[in-house]
Structure 1
């Protein structure tokens, strides 16, 4: 008998340990890590008097999923916001009715927040106007955020509280829309912060509550690790405090890798650096990851920075948030301080600008394994791939964007430019080890549409977005597990179920290897989630 007795043993199911590893019948856990895998007989040899036996009841187990790009605090905070997604409010009238009903329940002056609308999917085919929000909530400030989070509509009360009018200067990298010299209520990119400053900041207690609520929801989908992709965006350095309090109080449900907001005027990088919080600081549960800088906006909001204009608008190529020189200074400073960078760039214009900044920083201070990331990287080109490969730069996409927004991309860019977006198989073949994520609350963290889009390249409406970019189910799972860990330089810690790695495990209701894409999308549930050897979610 082995010298070590397992603390727990999983059995009576199929256990997928990672791409290239054999599926096994049983798995043993000791001190929060994988002790052994193999046949039932091989693993049962580690059974001791106090070993907890976990019957999978025919379930399908994988390494815990890693959502490599979402906003955990925002996900938790927005749980109680109005759901303005096309599913909840498919028409402008239904959306306004929901806002009216919320206003009737709240004292005058209370902020009403809603998120998720997509003007291309509304029946009117346009953004709502502030006057329409005024009509249903005249006594309440209202913020209606587009699904992408890069565009918001504010009503007159909200603009008044922020002292924004037709003469307000437009900040660099922002947009305050006017038509016929009158505000429409639409603000994009950096300009949104001008109004958001009038919204009361959440307290640290509220931030901790949001971390816990958002994290518990993620556990119910088998997600055990995440990157919070813009720490500091909601409440500045208080978010660092909240994360550490949540961890100490055992209210941090998921392993969290923090990307620190690094944009000018709102950056928390200097405070973190002075406190010694550089990339790699922390532990397996909470770690400082990268620095995040926004270079452009979103495709559906027509603010992603493209080299060619959007359809029907020859004067619009999106929003370039930083001048080249400014971005290069920001990137070099973070690089010199020892940070990995994970910067937002969707359009090919922004991607090119970011690659150049990374190349210059790496040339000035070489590091063969810094793994600077391009978050989203939706419309990259073959020439950009060549430069990325040479410099050791990695794309970090969200394949669920194909499912949720693919048809929107076609409507604003045309098929030729849109169908080949987020070229997942191309990146895989180039050995970029692309991870995947949800960008929640931009998209729901539910992993099944994400996996479905990797397998089929189909949008929610059924449009096929270049079938050459499809991958197999094992490759999709690898993206959600091993490659997510790689993107955080933690592939030796998590992402596979092999001896020595953390025992983070998701158990699903059906065998994903043999299920059809439609079965995965419509008829699969996470039934059990284990983090560090402990059961942290069990479906009733």
Structure 2
């Protein structure tokens, strides 16, 4: 049935008495007139006259299945000490009694001792089952002694693009980057279905109706196609109420070619699930000091970080994508990695680039002014997470120095250099709440009151559009998604107050009243 929705106002103009007509999930027209009594019989009337309507959010980079899985794992966010970590872990094991304990969220920089936990710290809690606890960034894990034995990891174990930390030739339990694959637990199809639907429900509460998500790496390469089949099944059965654009991470050139030979193409699918660009994980994270830098870390002179793939493999993956008209979305955090990506893409024949391709660097953190300028001139764009500023503004100068820090997370400068920014959360690395992302893009101020280069603050409209319109650009859907106007998807949120007028703390704590997908309410307080 057609729908007519009466709203208090509609972003961005906020004209009073706005009426939206919806037909088959698409906005038919927006006017200030309700249908006549005779016409009303053709419509379902929805009264949102106490609410302002905004386009719903599009998270430009997250891990949907991983986020769903994290909701039932041992949550260690904000833990302030090893003893607190141990207590939470002990309570979790007592309550849930899992055969393999998986948790995430710890951050050694928040500990009173400011040191990584070790296998011995976990052994105190339990050494009768494997324990795997991922750092908040997802690039490091600590495991207990049982897990090292269970997964056959010892001082002689080697893995390219990863590291098993040793102390006096004995593993400490700390695993970095590709070494995490040694303890990966592939979820079943039924588990993944549960994770997707659980995550979907939580995201709707935040007003998120579209995600661009990296999921295929959750399972072994031979099983990756099963995830694509699962999404399609959920869509066909009417269970997928979230618009999913899969950032497909094929870890080796051989895996990538195998999928292409089996018919993989970008932008194939339905309005609820489409295959997207090639996702490449190029380096690590700043917090774990595994992001690849051009010079040693200022606070750890013995390391410059880790490249996950060697440069030849990176070139091969990118070359295959280019040859098959598939965009690349490359995780790059350290300035070495980002500079390498920019130089390589700038000197690569990208056919119709920069106008038609949507090549992007994910995170795109540690940069200098010249890199930003070259990136913009080359038509390379960025999928960034402003919420990272809450933590990173406390460590970035320690890690890389003030000169690099000045043009890191430099959103205004990036936009001024014609780089299109789309915002996201990288959930479960961060909570996916988009209002936190908006807050940090606009104010760049953390809870302690520290402000990180205020000259890079964005105005509300620019930040909001980066969470809506820009996301649609990267999925080639900007002509019918990300705005509330005729011919566009009726995906929107209802808010009792004008977001543009809210003070900083109020914006940070906004709660969505209602979320609509295709004119259908999927969440209501």
Change (3 A) 1:163 1:62: same
Listed as ranges, the matches of 1:376-395 within 5 Å are 376-395=363-382
Alignment partner for residue 129 of structure 1, among 109, 118, 138?
Answer: 118
Query: How far apart are the structure 2 equivalents of 1:43 and 1:315?
Result: 71
Tell me by how many angstroms 1:460 deviates. 3.4
Q: Deviations over 1:214-267 (max 9, x none)?
A: 0111011110100012423345332212211221222222100001112228x7
**Residue 60 of structure 2 corresponds to residue 75 of structure 1:** no
Match of 1:528 in 2: 514
Deviations 1:339-382 (A, max 9, x none): 11111001111011112332344357867411111011112222
Residue correspondence of structure 1 range 382-531 to structure 2 within 5 A? 382-522=369-509, 524-531=510-517
> Which residue among 140, 143, 147 is the counterpart of 2:132?
143
| Structure 1 partner of 2:88 | 98
Scaled by the length of structure 2, what TM-score is found? 0.94
> Cα distance 1:501–1:322, how it changes in 2: closer, same or farther (>3 A)?
same
Deviation at 1:15, TM superposition (A): 1.2
Is the contact made by 1:503 and 1:533 (CA closer than 8 Å) also made in structure 2? yes
Distance in 2, matches of 1:386 and 1:413, equals 20
**Equivalence for 2:167:** 179
Please report how far the alpha carbon of residue 504 of structure 1 lies from its aligned counterpart in structure 2 after TM superposition. Answer: 0.5
SS in 1 for 2:357: coil
Task: Give the equivalent residue in structure 2 for 1:245.
Answer: 233
1:116 and 2:111 are equivalent in the alignment: no
Find 1:58's aligned residue among 50, 55, 80.
50
**2:4 corresponds to which of 9, 24, 29:** 9
* Distance in 1, Cα, partners of 2:175 & 2:125: 20
Tell me the equivalent position of 1:276: 263
Asked whether the 8 Å contact 1:396–1:487 carries over to 2, the reply is no
Report if the CA contact (8 A) 1:8-1:28 is conserved: yes
Give the match's secondary structure for 1:343.
strand
Distance 1:110 1:312, change over 3 A: same
Paired residues of 1:60 and 1:511 also in contact (CA < 8 A): yes
8 Å CA contact 1:302, 1:318 repeated in 2: yes
CA distance in 2: counterparts of 1:84 and 1:46, whole angstroms: 58
Question: What's the CA shift for 1:407?
Answer: 1.5
State the 1:38 CA deviation: 3.3
Task: Give a deviation string over 1:391-424, Cα, whole Å, max 9, x none.
Answer: 2211111111112432133443344433542111
Matched, 1:84 2:69: no
Change (3 A) 1:54 1:375: same
Contact 2:377 2:418 in 1 (8 A): no
Q: How many residues align?
A: 521
Of residues 183, 187, 192, the one that matches 1:195 is 183
| From 196, 199, 202, the counterpart of 1:217 | 202
Q: Quickly say closer, same or farther: Cα 1:305–1:172, change in 2 above 3 A.
A: same
For the pair 1:297 / 2:284, whether they are aligned, the reply is yes
8 Å CA contact 2:68, 2:196 repeated in 1: yes
- 1:43, CA displacement in angstroms? 7.3
SS state at 2:71 partner: helix
Q: Does 1:263 align with 2:263?
A: no
Inter-CA distance 309–23: structure 2 relative to 1 (3 Å threshold) = farther
Kindly report which structure 2 residues correspond to 1:354-369, keeping only aligned pairs within 5 A, or say none: 354-362=341-349, 368-369=355-356
Q: Which runs of 5+ in 1 are unaligned?
A: 1-5
Cα distance between partner residues in 2 of 1:432 and 1:366: 14
- Rounded to whole Å, the distance in 1 between the matches of 2:107 and 2:402 is 19
Task: Please tell me whether the aligned partners of residues 331 and 361 of structure 1 are also in contact (alpha carbons under 8 angstroms).
Answer: no
Q: Does 1:327 align with 2:314?
A: yes
Does the 8 Å CA contact 1:484/1:495 hold for their aligned counterparts? yes
CA distance in 1, matches of 2:39, 2:296: 64
What does the per-residue CA deviation read over 1:82-114, in whole Å, with 9 as the maximum and x for residues that have no partner? 11011xx3222111111112223455x711111
- In the alignment, the residues of structure 1 paired with residue 420 and residue 173 of structure 2 have an alpha-carbon distance, to the nearest angstrom, of 41
Structure 2: gaps of 5 or more residues: none
CA distance in 2, matches of 1:147, 1:46: 57
Matches of 1:525 and 1:314 in 2, distance apart? Answer: 44
1:155 aligns with 2:147: no
Offset at 1:42?
A: 6.7
| TM-score, normalization by structure 1 | 0.92
The 2-side partners of 1:408 and 1:44 are apart by 61
